[in-house]
Amino acid sequence: MTNLLALDDVRVRFREHEVLHGVGLVMGRERIGIVGESGAGKSMLGRAVIRLLPPGATLSGIVAFDGVTLDDRNIGARRGRRIALIPQDPRFSLNPAMTVGDQIAEVLRVHRRLAAGDARRETLRLLNSVRMRDPELVSKRYPHQLSGGIGQRAMIAMMLAPDPDLLIADEPTSALDASVAGGILALLDAEVTRRQMGIILISHDLDLVASFCDRVLVMKDGEIVEKLRASQLANAQHPYTRQLLAARLRLEK
């Protein structure tokens, strides 16, 4: 069996300043959580996988997806199609000048080569599948007319449209209220299971990652400092992981 994703010595550099220092990771169709504080390089790692780095960044090392080493030429056929990224705040990532329905239909026409009428019907079906109460109405809305939770559901519908194998979710609920975040996570949980996808969940929230994922990678200053099973998080050895665990505010005493 080939691995779904394998990273070897992945580095990201801005001129002489290195922000990701040789990261390695091998994963199948499983749930990997990446935790760490701001500046740890979590998002940079997610973006390095799909080669979508900020201007001025250089990438080195090997990223292999489904047995193929990714490069600037072959990433286009996979990014969005087989590897999808769900960002933190959909209102900044959706096209502000296009209705939600048109954006999802465009994804379907490009990645699944559907005709316009089929794309429209499939769009409504997808919006319905992310438990949107009124798919027809939402499809006619522009992103700024949506609440955070509805926008994130629309984003998830759009990212799942090409039926990807790997989902990279970068703090998918950090911009949302707790009562809304729960529904989004339950939706992601159900879809990842149903579609047998791999997922990389990037989050600053240890408790969330521990309950959502199978394995957890702890990052600090551009390096993975500890890898462990999610169920073993409480027994973490690395001082930084212990520090993160200690800094959590618990509702319970």
Partner 1 sequence: MIAARTLIARHGGHRVIGNLSLDVADGESFGVVGESGSGKSTLLRVIAGLHRNWSGELAIAGQRQNRDRPRGFGRVVEMVFQDPYGSLHPRQTVDRVLAEPLLVQGFGYDSSRIVGALRDVGLDASHRFRYPHQLSGGQRQRVAIARALILRPKLLLLDEPTSALDASVQAEILALLRRLREQHGMTFVLVSHSLAVVTTMCERAAVMHEGRFVEEVVVDDLRDGNLRDAYARELFAASRGFRRAG
Binding site for partner 1 (CB under 8 A): 37-38, 148, 177-179, 181-182, 185-186, 189-190, 193, 204, 207-208, 211-212, 243-244, 246-253
Q: Under DSSP, is residue 133 helix (H, G, I), strand (E, B) or coil?
A: coil
Q: Which is nearer to partner 1, 3 or 211 (CB)?
A: 211
Q: What angle do CA 12, 17, 19 make, to 5 degrees?
A: 40
What's the closest the beta carbon of residue 209 comes to partner 1, in angstroms? Answer: 10
- Please, what is the end-to-end C-alpha distance for the chain in angstroms? 46
What's the closest the beta carbon of residue 250 comes to partner 1, in angstroms? Answer: 6
Helix (H) or strand (E) holding 1: none
What's the closest the beta carbon of residue 245 comes to partner 1, in angstroms? Answer: 10
H-assigned helices in 22-112: 42-49, 90-93, 100-112
**What is the C-alpha to C-alpha distance for residues 31 and 216, in angstroms, rounded to an integer?**
9
Q: Which is nearer to partner 1, 136 or 177 (CB)?
A: 177
DSSP letter string, 99-124:
-HHHHHHHHHHHHH---HHHHHHHHH
H-assigned helices in 113-177: 116-129, 135-139, 148-160
What's the closest the beta carbon of residue 176 comes to partner 1, in angstroms? Answer: 9
What's the closest the beta carbon of residue 98 comes to partner 1, in angstroms? Answer: 25
Q: Which is nearer to partner 1, 71 or 207 (CB)?
A: 207
**What is the C-alpha to C-alpha distance for residues 47 and 84, in angstroms, rounded to an integer?**
11
33 in Cβ contact with 189 (< 8 Å):
no
What's the closest the beta carbon of residue 244 comes to partner 1, in angstroms? Answer: 7
Q: Which is nearer to partner 1, 6 or 230 (CB)?
A: 230
Q: Which is nearer to partner 1, 193 or 235 (CB)?
A: 193
Q: Which is nearer to partner 1, 81 or 204 (CB)?
A: 204
